[in-house]
Amino acid sequence: MALSFRSSNQSAIWDRIRSDDATKLRLKYDAYYHIFDEQKGTRVKKDGKEYVMLSSNDYLGLSQHPKIKEAGMAALQKWGSSTTGARLANGGRIFHRELEEDLADFLGKEACHVFSAGYLACASAVTGFVDRKDIIFADKNLHSSLWSGIHLSGATCERFAHNDPEHLGELLASENSTTPKAVVLEGIYSMEGHIARLPELVEVGKRFNAFIILDDAHGVGVLGNSGRGTADHFGLTQGVDVICGSFSKSFSGMGGFVCSSKDAIDYMRSHSKQTIFSAALSPSATACAHAALQVFRAEPEHRQRLEKNLTRYRNLLHELQLDTWESESPAIPIVLGKKEKVYYFWKALLEKGVYAIISIAPGVPPGKDLIRTAISAAHTDSDLDIIEDAIRYAATKI
């Protein structure tokens, strides 16, 4: 006989769920979690209407690359869909090791460990090394994955002004010199598109013997020799202690990585709950990431195309005097300041067949409400014509 749980939907948590203003607002404006029925390259379709995607992170446009798709399918055939467990429990596979060796070599580090999500990798790049007795100095605009790692580590955290080495230096100088210190940075800040002032930040951090963790999710593939990322771009690969990132941006795949010395990766494998208690990267995701890495090395044309597209797009935004928050990368915000303006701009883009994403406070600092756009090497001239037409139209609506 079924038991009746009269109170099962009377919990205070159900009340909170039903009355949440953020959810009501999200559903009212319907700006997020859209479902597309079809995708061909940069074009997505919903309810029979086609849109040019202007907010994904497929910077090099590799998500439909034949060699990457073939590698993923072959791995699925050979190894199946999953290793169904954490590597500590039922072992890694040779394909994990091959990717890790190749990626470590590419990024100029001794060793690497791959994870089933970039979020887990970047959280682990902090929790895997830092503990509660340490102090972390964090750029205040870090990605949520790094904040999760910071909170889970239990360490004291000081936030320094975004991309500001002078402020970092003041905070470091005010702390006890014997407390172990870590500095957490991004190579390219995903919302603003800013490149980290790495030479000054690393110099300050090293002056105070800090351990430097760099999340280069958006830098690898885009900056540095053959896409070796932000540290390579500045010749600072040995200046940063850890480089972490995601396979869901330029690699056009899924998963993430942490690279460092062999000792550090062995240490992290003993301490990172994100790998000890989470299943390994799947065979097909590993193969896709590995094939993308080979494409970075062998096919410079994708970066060249990205640069060409970026020049055209930046010129357009500049001509229309739109505020791009001084973005220096393919992640380009259009800062409109007020959420109503953002909403009308976004609606106008949709009307003209362009899909972008809204980001408003508290996701961005107050007064910086924006449309987050990202240019891809896969955007064709005809995509860029549609984007141009839509942005010119949207600019008249604000």
Ligand X SMILES: Cc1ncc(COP(=O)(O)O)c(C=O)c1O
Residues at the interface with ligand X (CB under 6 A): 117-119, 122, 143, 145, 186, 190, 215, 217-218, 246, 248, 256
- Minimum CB separation of residue 173 from ligand X in Å reads 28
Q: CB of 322: closest distance to ligand X in angstroms? A: 22
Q: Which is nearer to ligand X, 218 or 303 (CB)?
A: 218
Which candidate, 231, 233, 223, 226, places its Cα nearest to that of 185?
231
Q: Which residue in the shown chain puts its C-beta closest to ligand X?
A: 118
Please give the C-alpha separations between residue 66 and each of 63, 109, 177, 190, 250, in angstroms, as whole numbers. Answer: 9, 29, 53, 27, 15
Shortest Å, Cβ 398 to ligand X: 27
| DSSP code string of 300-362 | THHHHHHHHHHHHHHHHHHHTT-B-TT--SSEEEEEEESHHHHHHHHHHHHHTTEE-EEE-TT
**CB neighbours of 28 closer than 8 A, spacing ≥ 6?**
none
The runs of H, that is alpha helices, within 128-197 are 144-153, 165-173
Residue with tokens 């995607």: 53
Q: Which is nearer to ligand X, 148 or 391 (CB)?
A: 148
Q: Residue 3 gets which letter from DSSP?
A: P
Tell me phi and psi for residue 55, to 5 degrees: -140, 10
The CA distances from residue 70 to 39, 57, 99, 232, 288, in Å, are: 18, 21, 16, 30, 8
For residues 169 and 159, what is the distance between their CA atoms, to the nearest angstrom?
Answer: 12
Please, which residue, 281 or 395, has the CB nearer to ligand X?
A: 281
| Closer CB to ligand X, 42 or 329, in the complex | 329
Q: Minimal distance in Å, beta carbon 318 to ligand X?
A: 25
Query: What tokens were used for 142?
Result: 């870090």
Closer of 122 and 387 to ligand X (Cβ): 122
In the structure encoding, which two tokens stand for residue 119, read together?
Answer: 């979020």
| Least distance between ligand X and beta carbon 145 (Å) | 4
Nearest approach in angstroms of CB 7 to ligand X is 37
Q: How far is the CB of 277 from ligand X (least distance, A)?
A: 17
C-beta closer to ligand X: residue 233 or 352: 233
Instruction: Decide whether 153 or 388 has the Cβ nearer to ligand X.
Output: 153
Least distance (Å) between residue 312 CB and ligand X: 24
Q: How far is the CB of 119 from ligand X (least distance, A)?
A: 4
146 or 386: CB nearest ligand X: 146
Nearest to 291 by CA among 80, 109, 117, 99: 99
Beta bridge partners of 369: 337
Q: Strands 43-46 and 49-53: what pairing?
A: antiparallel
Nearer to ligand X, 224 or 256 (CB): 256
SS3 call for 181: strand
CA–CA separation, 63 and 255 (whole Å): 14
DSSP per-residue string spanning 26-60: HHHHT-S----SEEETTEEEETTEEEEE-S---TT
**Three-class SS state of 385:** helix
Q: Which is nearer to ligand X, 198 or 394 (CB)?
A: 198
Nearer to ligand X, 169 or 193 (CB): 193
- Least distance in angstroms from the C-beta of 139 to ligand X: 11
Minimum CB separation of residue 14 from ligand X in Å reads 30
